[in-house]
Amino acid sequence: MLNGTTAEIKPREALRINPAKTCQPIGAMYAALGIHGCMPHSHGSQGCCAYHRSHLTRHFKEPVIATTSSFTEGASVFGGLANLNQALSNIFTIYNPEIVAVHTTCLSEVIGDDIPMMIKKSIEDGTIPKGKVVIHANTPSFVGSHVTGFANMTTAMVRYLAEKNGHRLFQLNLIPGFVDPADIRELKRIVAEMGVKAVVFPDTSGVLDLPQDGRYRMFPHGGTTIEELKSTGDSSCTIALGHFTSHPAATELDEKCGVGCAFLELPIGLTETDRFIHALRNYGGVDVPATIGDERGRLLDAMSDMHQYFHKKRVAIAGDPDHVIALTQFLSDLDMKPAYVITGSPGKHFEQRVTEILKDQVPDAVVKQNSDLFALHQWIKNAPVDLIIGNTYCKYIAREEKIPFVRFGFPVLDRMGHRYFPCVGYMGALRLMEKMNDALLDHKDRECADEYFELIQ
């Protein structure tokens, strides 16, 4: 429990307590699962790979496949070339994936393993069969976060696979960022509803949200194919959702193949979804169908109907930077007051963007990147909030301070639904509103005096 947290705040420069993040390889592993027929490979010790797999499994409630170079003391001293070469030989012989996505860990980074050289040697030795592909991303855990690892692996997809053949294709690239399979499925639905052809990468829908039919598939039917990834170099435009997770890959694609980019935030809530729809309309050369307009209208109606319950409510938000930025904008649209807005990931853009959103509505908001949940708890002890929105680890603060809590982002380890019900788009915004409204009213019903316990609040 976090009931040992004190209200007295002391400066901390080198110490993080309950950081609102995890390590790079987890993000890289998740991104790799968004490629069809891909085997994520952890170039490091068995313990690292086991933790990363279990953490993703606990969030998605699905078995997560991955292999490891199984470093021992010898590899730590002499390097991991032999381990990686043997691992690739075993992987292609036993599992026969279309592609292997290698990501490094702290140990392989500290000893300085040259992964591109190792991959090249494996190709020359015939360890990697003809027609098979191996890509890599450097993902040391001692810098960045899982968000950084996801961005690095997504960028590696572009670096290794995107090709420019000189014939522009009438399609868009859509980089959805670190979101759940349900969110990617919803984004694909919106794109299809708009009548736009798009290559979505990475795409974990159909990989980590499979229906139960009694059969196990090591390589599910979902994921972006290698051919689709190659075609991204000839697309007419890239729409990148999320500064931290998607913009680096879009920039790489522009520099490598000259594909122009539209840099957006995640389409969470009214304003950011409007911007996403506008980008699809503009770059796809299509009109917005009435069905999308109806969805927007229903969201506006709900925002109007429920305004009294959200008005001026103080909120604490913690999570991944891309999620938190978009959510802050949505709460602002709902006339709520995000009082504390933090992320565990580093990056000055986070503070700049959130401060810009809140400068008129909540000018005194505490906004901090590279922060932790201990600091958030201390601030709440000094000036309480009406609602907390964040991942599962925020539940300890909510319990101790008796504050309504909405689970949102990554990881959500103790509830279901995030795999199946989106938070993006107009329909996702309705779901978020429902969760927030239920949490606030349930708390009121539970805590109010008898004379205020009404049938209809």
| 367 labelled catalytic | no
The reply to whether domains 24-161 and 293-452 share a CATH topology is yes
Question: Phi and psi at residue 278, in whole multiples of 5°?
Answer: -60, -40
Q: Which two tokens stand for residue 263?
A: 């840099």
The one catalytic residue in 110, 143, 286, 448 is 110
Give CA–CA dist 121/137, Å, rounded: 17
User: What pTM value is reported for the model?
Assistant: 0.95
- The topology under which CATH files domain 293-452 is Rossmann fold (3.40.50)
pLDDT tens, residue by residue, 364-391: 999 999 999 999 999 999 999 999 999 9
Closest CA to 160 of 128, 221, 116, 97: 116
DSSP state of 98: S
Give CA–CA dist 58/61, Å, rounded: 5
| 106 labelled catalytic | yes
pLDDT at 2: 54
pLDDT at 62: 92
pLDDT tens, residue by residue, 330-367: 999 999 999 999 999 999 999 999 999 999 999 999 99
Share of the chain above pLDDT 70, in %: 99
Burial classification of residue 381, based on how many CB atoms lie within 10 Å of its CB (0-12 exposed, 13-18 middle, 19 or more buried): middle
Place of tokens 């802050």: 328
Q: Going edge to edge, which strands form the sheet with 235-241?
A: 198-200, 169-175, 235-241, 261-264
pLDDT at 72: 87
What is the CATH architecture assignment of 169-209+219-288? Answer: 3-Layer(aba) Sandwich (3.40)
Give CA–CA dist 12/309, Å, rounded: 37
Question: Phi and psi at residue 226, in whole multiples of 5°?
Answer: -60, -40
pLDDT at 329: 98
pLDDT tens, residue by residue, 58-81: 999 999 999 999 998 888 788 889
- Does residue 211 have a pLDDT over 80? yes
- At 166, the pLDDT band (50, 70, 90 cuts) reads confident
pLDDT tens, residue by residue, 74-131: 887 888 899 999 999 999 999 999 999 999 999 899 999 999 999 999 999 999 999 9
Extents of the domains making up the chain: 24-161, 169-209+219-288, 293-452
What is the CATH architecture assignment of 24-161? Answer: 3-Layer(aba) Sandwich (3.40)
Place of tokens 């925020």: 394
| Average pLDDT of the residues in 309-314 | 97
- At 455, the pLDDT band (50, 70, 90 cuts) reads confident
pLDDT tens, residue by residue, 134-162: 999 999 999 999 999 999 999 999 999 99
- Does residue 1 have a pLDDT over 80? no
Average of per-residue pLDDT values in the chain: 95
pLDDT at 75: 80
Burial classification of residue 247, based on how many CB atoms lie within 10 Å of its CB (0-12 exposed, 13-18 middle, 19 or more buried): buried
DSSP 300-341: HHHHHHTHHHHTT-EEEEES-HHHHHHHHHHHHHTT-EEEEE
pLDDT tens, residue by residue, 443-452: 999 999 988 8
DSSP 368-389: ESS-BHHHHHHHHHHS--SEEE
Q: 261-264 and 405-407 as β-strands: parallel, antiparallel, unpaired?
A: unpaired
Amino acid identity at 237? C
Place of tokens 């997504």: 154
Could you tell me the CA-to-CA distances from 290 to 120, 293, 294, 297, 330 in Å, in that order? 52, 5, 6, 10, 23
Q: Which two tokens stand for residue 286?
A: 């299509």
pLDDT tens, residue by residue, 29-60: 999 999 999 999 999 999 999 999 999 999 99
Give CA–CA dist 324/350, Å, rounded: 9
The one catalytic residue in 38, 102, 106, 133 is 106
